[in-house]
C-alpha cells in the first residue's frame, strides 16, 4: 500500500462492527487504494504519503457500508399496487403484470432500486431476479450493468420458476421457464458474470424462486449446479403460514424439512424471510449455518408475521437485512430497516430484550456480509478489508441531541449520508449519487412503469 493513493477521514465517531464491537468516540480512518489501511482513536498518523484527500468528518459516524441481502429490483416499476393483500393474493394479483417485463423496464427498475439504496448507505446490493419472459432480452446483463454504473458491489441471484398454475403453482403458465432452460441459463450467467476474487464487484448465486413456484427437480438440480460451479444458493423460505400449508399438502413436510431433502441447507445457502420457523427449524439452520435475509418492512406490509430473529441469533444462525422488492416495501431503503428490525422484533416474545441498536447495525453490515459469504472482505472496518464505508451526518436537528451516535443512527430518523465509499471509490456526496443522474432515473422509471401498466392492461 506504500504507493497507493490515500484518503484520510478524521474527527469522526467510528463503529467498526468488528468481533469486539470496537468503537472510537473521536477517531480516524485511512483508505489506501481500495483497502482500509488503518483506523483508531485520535488523528491519523503523521507523515502519510500520497494523501490525495483529507475529510474533516466532525459530527459524523463512520460505519461499514450497509449490505442488502434480499431484493427484487424489477418491482420498482410496480410500487403501490395490491396494497391490502397477503403474500399469496399479492402474488396472484401482480404476476400477470410482472410476466410482461422486458429489458428496458428491468434496466430502469434496477437503476431506481440501486439508486435509492446507494444514496442511503448501501455499498453491497443483491437482486433476486426470477421472472424471465420469453424474448424479453438480456435481463441479467441489464441488472449487472445498472449496478456497475451506480458503483455498488453486487450479487445477482439468478432466479427461476418452472412450476406454473397448471402444475399447482402461482405464476401464470407463460411466466415460467422449463427446467432445462432455467438450469442452462443460470449456468451461462454464472460463467459469464461471476467473479470470485477478494475485491470482486460482481458475483452470481443460483436462486430458484420458492417452493410454490419451482419443481423439486429444479431445487435439487439447482443445488447441484451451484456446488459444481462453486457459487452460493438463495431462495425464499418459510415466509407465510400459507407456504407451510402448501408444503405439507404437496410434499408431506414443512418447508425446512423439504429444503433439507433437496440439498438446500448449508453454509453456502441463504434464504429470505424465514418468518414461520419452529425450534426444530432454527436448530437445523444453526447446525448447517444456513443464512437468513430478514426483511421486516416487507413482512409487515404483507402481514406475514414477525421472524424469530433473536432466537436465530442466539442459536448462531447468520442473519442479514433485506429491503425485499419494492412492491412490498415501497421505500426501497435499507437504512430504515435497521430501525424497523429493532422495533418490530420488540413486538415479539422477547419484547425490549429482542434487539438493541448495535445488534441492529450488525445485522445491516457484518451479518449481511456473512450471509453473502463475504465477511472476510466487507461488513466491518478492519485493516486489510475492502474500503466500503459510510459517513452518516448526525449533527443536524434530527440527531444532534442524541449523545450516542449508534443509537442516533438506529433509533433516530434516517440519517443523511455525507459520503459513501465502495472499493475506495466515492459514490455518494451530500446525499446525492456521483455517477448516475437521479433525476433522469426518476423520469425513466416513471415512463417504464406507465408503459408496463399499459401493456398489462391490454392483456
Locus of grid cell 480516524: 28
Asked if pLDDT for residue 170 goes beyond 80, the answer is no
Bridge-based pairing state of the strands 60-64 and 6-15:
parallel
For residues 186 and 139, the answer to whether their CB atoms sit within 8 Å is no
Confidence of residue 166 (pLDDT cuts 50, 70, 90): confident
Per-chain mean pLDDT for the chain: 96
For residues 35 and 378, the answer to whether their CB atoms sit within 8 Å is no
Q: Please enumerate in sequence order all residues whose Cβ is within 8 A of that of 135, keeping only pairs 6 or more positions apart, or say none.
A: none
Locus of grid cell 453486487: 154
For residues 214 and 160, the answer to whether their CB atoms sit within 8 Å is yes
**How confident is the model over 72-100, as a mean pLDDT?**
95
Paired residues of 428 in beta bridges: 420, 433
Angle at 85 between CA 81 and CA 91, to 5 degrees: 75
Q: What global pTM score does this model have?
A: 0.97
The count of other CB atoms within 10 Å of the CB of residue 106 is: 28
Q: What does the block give as the cell for 161?
A: 420458476
pLDDT greater at residue 164 or residue 350: 350
Asked if pLDDT for residue 1 goes beyond 60, the answer is no
Confidence of residue 169 (pLDDT cuts 50, 70, 90): confident
pLDDT at position 2 is 57
Dist. CA 127–CA 121, nearest whole Å: 17
Paired residues of 16 in beta bridges: none
Confidence of residue 243 (pLDDT cuts 50, 70, 90): confident
Tens-place pLDDT, residues 217-237: 999 999 999 999 999 999 999
**How confident is the model over 11-18, as a mean pLDDT?**
98
- Alpha carbon of 174 to those of 88, 103, 177, 313: distances in Å? 18, 17, 8, 40
- Which range, of 40-54, 164-178, 406-420, 443-457, averages the lowest pLDDT? 164-178
Dist. CA 23–CA 359, nearest whole Å: 14
Tens-place pLDDT, residues 263-311: 999 999 999 999 999 999 999 999 999 999 999 999 999 999 999 999 9
Q: How far apart, in Å, do the first and last CA atoms of the chain sit? A: 58
pLDDT at position 212 is 86
Task: Give Cα 240 distance to the centre of its chain.
Answer: 20
Q: What does the block give as the cell for 412?
A: 433516530
pLDDT at position 156 is 98
Tens-place pLDDT, residues 363-403: 999 999 999 999 999 999 999 999 999 999 999 999 999 99
Q: What does the block give as the cell for 257?
A: 424439512
Q: What does the block give as the cell for 111?
A: 437503476
Task: Give Cα 431 distance to the centre of its chain.
Answer: 20
**How confident is the model over 411-417, as a mean pLDDT?**
97
DSSP structure class, residue 215:
-
Dist. CA 227–CA 208, nearest whole Å: 14
Tens-place pLDDT, residues 422-449: 999 999 999 999 999 999 999 999 999 9
pLDDT at position 99 is 93
Q: Residues of the chain with pLDDT > 70: what percent?
A: 100
Confidence of residue 85 (pLDDT cuts 50, 70, 90): very high
Tens-place pLDDT, residues 47-83: 999 999 999 999 999 999 999 999 999 999 999 999 9
Q: Please enumerate in sequence order all residues whose Cβ is within 8 A of that of 296, keeping only pairs 6 or more positions apart, or say none.
A: 307, 321, 337, 340, 341, 344, 345
Dist. CA 62–CA 36, nearest whole Å: 13
Print burial letters for 167-185: b (CB count within 10 Å at least 16), e (below 16): eebbbeeebbbebeebbeb
Locus of grid cell 432454527: 282
H or E segment to which residue 243 belongs: helix 241-251
For residues 127 and 133, the answer to whether their CB atoms sit within 8 Å is no
The count of other CB atoms within 10 Å of the CB of residue 131 is: 23
- Alpha carbon of 311 to those of 123, 200, 240: distances in Å? 28, 33, 18
Amino acid at each position: 500500500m506504500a504507493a497507493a493513493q490515500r484518503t484520510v477521514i478524521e474527527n469522526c465517531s467510528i463503529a467498526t462492527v468488528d468481533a469486539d464491537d470496537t468503537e472510537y468516540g473521536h477517531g480516524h480512518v485511512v483508505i489506501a487504494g481500495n483497502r482500509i489501511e488503518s483506523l483508531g482513536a485520535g488523528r491519523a498518523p503523521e507523515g502519510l504519503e500520497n494523501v490525495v484527500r483529507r475529510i474533516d468528518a466532525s459530527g459524523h459516524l463512520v460505519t461499514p457500508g450497509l449490505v442488502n441481502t434480499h431484493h427484487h429490483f424489477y418491482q420498482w416499476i410496480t410500487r403501490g399496487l395490491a396494497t391490502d393483500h397477503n403474500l399469496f393474493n399479492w402474488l396472484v394479483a401482480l404476476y400477470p403484470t410482472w410476466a410482461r417485463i422486458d429489458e428496458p423496464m428491468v434496466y430502469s427498475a434496477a437503476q431506481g432500486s440501486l439508486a435509492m439504496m446507494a444514496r442511503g448507505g448501501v455499498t453491497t446490493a443483491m437482486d433476486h431476479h426470477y421472472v424471465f419472459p420469453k424474448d424479453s432480452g438480456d435481463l441479467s446483463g441489464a441488472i449487472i450493468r445498472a449496478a456497475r454504473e451506480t458503483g455498488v458491489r453486487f450479487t445477482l441471484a439468478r432466479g427461476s420458476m418452472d412450476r406454473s398454475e397448471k402444475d399447482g403453482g402461482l405464476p401464470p403458465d407463460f411466466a415460467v421457464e422449463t427446467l432445462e432452460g432455467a438450469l442452462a441459463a443460470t449456468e451461462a450467467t454464472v460463467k459469464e458474470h461471476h467473479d470470485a476474487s477478494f475485491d470482486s464487484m460482481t458475483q452470481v448465486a443460483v436462486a430458484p424462486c420458492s417452493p410454490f413456484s419451482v419443481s423439486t427437480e429444479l431445487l435439487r438440480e439447482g443445488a447441484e449446479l451451484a456446488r459444481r460451479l462453486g457459487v452460493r444458493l438463495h431462495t425464499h423460505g418459510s415466509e407465510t403460514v400459507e407456504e407451510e400449508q402448501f408444503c405439507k399438502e404437496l410434499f408431506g413436510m414443512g418447508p425446512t424439512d423439504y429444503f433439507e431433502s433437496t440439498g438446500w441447507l448449508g453454509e453456502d445457502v441463504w434464504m429470505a424471510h424465514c418468518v414461520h420457523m419452529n425450534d426444530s427449524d432454527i436448530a437445523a439452520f444453526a447446525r448447517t449455518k444456513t443464512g437468513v435475509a430478514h426483511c421486516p418492512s416487507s413482512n409487515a406490509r404483507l402481514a406475514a408475521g414477525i421472524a424469530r430473529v433473536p432466537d436465530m441469533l442466539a442459536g448462531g444462525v447468520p442473519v442479514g437485512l433485506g429491503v425485499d422488492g419494492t412492491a412490498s416495501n415501497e421505500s426501497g431503503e435499507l437504512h430504515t430497516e435497521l430501525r424497523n428490525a429493532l422495533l418490530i422484533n420488540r413486538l415479539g416474545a422477547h419484547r425490549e430484550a429482542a434487539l438493541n441498536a448495535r445488534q441492529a447495525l450488525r445485522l445491516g453490515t457484518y451479518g449481511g456480509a456473512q450471509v453473502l459469504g463475504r465477511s472476510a472482505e466487507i461488513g466491518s472496518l478492519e485493516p486489510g478489508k475492502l474500503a466500503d464505508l459510510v459517513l452518516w451526518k448526525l449533527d443536524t436537528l434530527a440527531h444532534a441531541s442524541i449523545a450516542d451516535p449508534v443509537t442516533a443512527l438506529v433509533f433516530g430518523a434516517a440519517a443523511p449520508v455525507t459520503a459513501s465509499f465502495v472499493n475506495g471509490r466515492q459514490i455518494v456526496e451530500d446525499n446525492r449519487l456521483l455517477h448516475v443522474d437521479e433525476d433522469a432515473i426518476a423520469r425513466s422509471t416513471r415512463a417504464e412503469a406507465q408503459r408496463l401498466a399499459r401493456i398489462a392492461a391490454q392483456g
